[in-house]
Every structure is written in structure tokens, then in C-alpha cells.
Amino acid sequence: MPRGLLTAALVFLALAPAAPLLGQDQEPARSELVLPDSIESALAMRLELSQLLVGRTLEELKELQAAWMTLLALQQKALDAAKAAPDGSPEREQAVALRADLDTLVAAADSIVAALSQAGGDAERAMAEIDAFRTDVAAELEESTVPKTREAALELPVEVLKARLRPLTRAQVEEQLAQWIAFLQQACLEVSNAEASALTSTDLARVEDFNAAAVEKRAVRGRLIERVNVVIDALDKKAGDVTEARAYVGSIVVTPPITGLRVAWSTTVAWLRNEQGGIATAKKAAVAIGVLVGFWLLAKVLTRFVGRAVRSLPRTSALLRDFIQSSVRRLTIIIGVLVALSTLGINMTPLVAAIGAAGLVIGLALQGTLGNLASGLMIMIYRPFDTGDIISTAGSLGTVDGMTLMTTAIKTFDNQTIHVPNNMIWGDVITNITANPTRRVDLKFGISYGDDIRKAREVLERIVAGHEKVLADPEPVIRLHELGDSSVNFIVRPWCRTSDYWDVYWDLTAKVKETFDEEGISIPFPQRDVHLIPANAPGVTGAPGEPGAPGAPGEPDGQVIQPPSREAKATHASGKKG
């Protein structure tokens, strides 16, 4: 090696950074630990906290815990301030979100304590500090579930009430129900007072005012009943006794008393003008109609989209495409109807449960129908035929016009539509006549025994070759097939497109008859030669005067003549049958 090159290599090795040896284990590089300085940064850090805790030293974990505890104290202080704010204020509305963030930070602190314990730190002390921020969740939920005033109770959304009731125990929900029943009883007393005043007043103007007030009070009562039913359902799910509560709610709603046409009209007008009566109902109806229209448009869009997607798939039948498109359209509309009913305030849970129970009973009662459904799905998946194919199955022959999950519509050639159950088709032999693009035409022509065979064959070959719809490949087959009883039979088997089958069949049949007549080639018809044998021919049983003949001694008149013996058949009788 030249001295200059060796010197350059030594200098490069001396200046190059020391590379680790191959196969030597290296510790993974750890990013620098950045302590959170705000609630937002802590919430963002907790998503990657499990990775950040890997490989940390005990001192780093203690610093992280201290920073986390500081942020927990700040969050608890903000939550206490929000809870102390007046009801309905923006600060009070933030209490729920602040509590959720505090729960998230406390849960993340648990992972810090676990890492601290693995590193040899004092886990019990750290856990005690975290538990100091764990408030009595049940008591807090109990306080926030039942508002202090009826107005606040009316403003509480139903879904929020369900969420707050979910973690409570049965005893806690029972306490909640008592408070809600008290609110409802107060509203019922106001309705009763207004109705009683309308019934006892003699001033028609005052009666109309009392009826209008009763309508408004009934609307308030209805909103409270909706929330009380939510509490009753929550208690029922926790195995509580709700018989008395349900009976009370069912007993307070009665048809309002109407005395006179004018009172009825004023009550109706008051209900229509009420924010919680006619106006609310009209809004719900408008929303329901909008939902139905929206889902109807969505069904059309989804049907087109799914249709294009299914058509792009290879080897999918038109029956399967139609089924998927119709199923998507109907399912979307059904979902739209359910959503529209829910916007009207109808509880869909009992309806769905009833549909499920009824589905089980219907399934057991309609096993044959379910068999048709399963067969229809199998036909769509395995595609033995498609729309427009000519098939022969279950004793029916015709064109497939359409298919449902229960039946297949077959249109016969005389324009009759036959609906065949799918299980009969799937359980029978299916002959798809138009499944292949080409088809062989089987023809048979007979000539007389006295005609020229070669000439007849040349005529047949010329006729077949001259037809424009006969395919050259595969090559037509024309052969002398058999020597029949009355004729010498040729088979003619040309190939054509499936759609041209009957045109080729009829054209060739007519052309062969015309050409045979022109060429003097006869087409014989079936014949039978009958040989008459005299009755007194020797050896024929049943001749006059012989045993077995009519009028013979010992035989009654009208006795059937016995058949000839085998020898008489061979000697005196012969015949041909075509």
C-alpha cells in the first residue's frame, strides 16, 4: 500500500467519531423530560405519558409528580369556584367540563405513581397525595343531579340527567326520585288549581284566562313528567321498586275538562300558542318531516353510490346488485323513520325490544319463508342465473324477469309471469339455456332408402355453409347417423350465437325441405307393412273348427282368439314400424 494512502487512512480513523461495535447493545435514546406548566400542556402530555415514563430516573419521576400535583391543585381550585357560582351562570356551566378534566388528570397521575413505585420511590405517599384530590363522586353527582329549583330542573337536558344518574347507587337514585316527585307534585297542584278556577268561575273571560293558564301549567307538568320517567327508569334498572312512582305518574295525567264550545276553542288556541304546547309540537313535526326528507335524499344518494361500487366489482350479478341497492335504500329509510319518531318524543327502546321479540316468534312460525330467504341469498351469491337469462327449473321455462328474497319471477314465452319460491329453485336442477355465448343446434333429417346419400350430404353441407348466422368455428357436423325403419337419417349440428338459436333452427329446417324438393330427394314418413293371413291357414290357432275358435264345441260365443304361436309369427306375419 502506498505510504500516502496509509497515512490518510490513519488520520481518518483518528478524527472519525467512535462508532459502536456491531452486535453491542445500546440503550435507547431518551428525550429530555419537559415538565407541564399548564392544564392544557398536562392534558396534551397525558396522551404520550406512558412512553415518556419509560427509563426515567427516580429524581425525574419525583419532579414530574410534584409538577402534576401543582396542576391538580389549580384544577381543583377552579372547579370549586365554578361550583360556587350561581345557577345558570357561565361559570357554573363550566363545572362539568372542569370536573371531567380533573378526573382525566387524576387518572394520568396513577400511571406516574406506578412508574415511581417501579423506580423504588414512596408510592404510598404519592397515592395519598393523589387521593386528596379524589372527591366524593357520588355525593357530587347527587348534588348536581337534582337542581335546587323547579326552573333549574326544567332546564336540565334529559340526556345530561341520564348521564348523571348512571353512576349512582339504588339508594341514591331513590333519594333523587323523591325530590323529582316533589317538583312534579307542585306542578300538578298548579294545574289542578287552574282547572278548578275555570270550572267554578262564572265570568267567561276569566274562564278563558284560567284555561290558558292551565294549558301553560300542563306544558310544565309534561316536561317534568319526562324527566321523572328518566329517574324511574334508572331506578328500575338498578332493581329498585318503581311501582308506586309509575302509578302516581300515570294517575296525574287526565283529559282536561272542557265545558262548552267557546271554552274548547279558547283552550285549543291557548295550546297552539303555548311555547311548550302547539309551537313545540309544530317544531317537532317540522323536524321529523325534515329528517324524513333528508333520509329519503340520503337513501337515493347511497343507492346510486352503492350501485356504482357494486358494478365495479368483478363477476357480480344484476340480481345481487339490485338486492344490495334495494336493501340499502330500505334500511336507510327505516333508520330515518326511527329517527323521526324519536324527534317526536317517542321512546324507541320498547319498540326495538318488541320488534326483537316479535322477530323471534315470526322466525319460528315462518321457517319456510326463511328457507326461501336463505335460498335467495345463495342464488345471488353463487349466480346460477341472472336477470334476462332463459332458464328451466322447478317445472318452469322462461326468462328471468326479477327476483326477491322470497320468489323468482319467470316470464314464459307466451307472456305469463310465474313466481317460483326460491327454495324450490335452489333445491332443483337449474338449466341456464343462455349462460354461454354460443350454442349447438341439433337437427335430424331423413331421406328415402332409394335416394343418393352423397348428394343428400352435399346438399346439407351447402345449405349449412350458406347460412349467415352459422359459425365456422366450431365446425358444423354433418354425418349419416342411422338406418331407421323408414328412412336413412342424417344429423346436422351447426353452431351459432345463443341469441340466434331459433332463427338458425327454423331457417335450416325450411331450407332443407325446399332444397330436397328441388333436388328430388324425398323425405319419407313412417310406414307399416301389414300382411293379411287367411283364417284357415295351417298352423294358425283359432281357425274355424279348431279349439279356441268362436263357436267351437265347449267354448262360449265371443271367446277371444288366442295369439298365434311363435312358429306362425315367424312364417306368416311380418311388419315394419318407423
Main-chain dihedrals φ then ψ at residue 259, nearest 5 degrees: -120, 100
Q: Could you report the average pLDDT of every consecutive run of 10 residues in the chain (578 residues)? A: 47 43 46 80 81 82 84 83 77 77 82 83 77 59 64 82 84 87 88 78 70 77 87 90 90 66 61 64 84 91 85 73 83 88 74 70 66 83 87 92 87 93 91 93 94 95 94 94 92 95 95 94 83 74 52 46 45 38
What is the pLDDT at residue 151?
80
What is the pLDDT at residue 577?
38
What is the pLDDT at residue 45?
83
CB 19 within 8 A of CB 52: no
C-alpha cell at 488: 336413412
Q: What is the pLDDT of residues 246-271, one digit of tens each?
A: 999 888 876 665 555 555 666 666 66
Sign of the dihedral through C-alpha 193, 194, 199, 205: positive
CATH architecture of 387-432: Roll (2.30)
DSSP-assigned letter for residue 471: B
CB 494 within 8 A of CB 509: no
What DSSP letter does each residue of 172-240 carry, written as one string?
Answer: HHHHHHHHHHHHHHHHHHHHHHHHHHHHH---HHHHHHHHHHHHHHHHHHHHHHHHHHHHHHHHHHTT-
C-alpha cell at 297: 335524499
Cα separation of the two ends of the chain: 109
What is the pLDDT at residue 22?
40
β-strand partners of 397? 392
Cα separation, 274 vs 256, in Å, equals: 16
* CATH, domain range 283-364: 1.10.287.1260
* CATH, domain range 438-519: 3.30.70.100
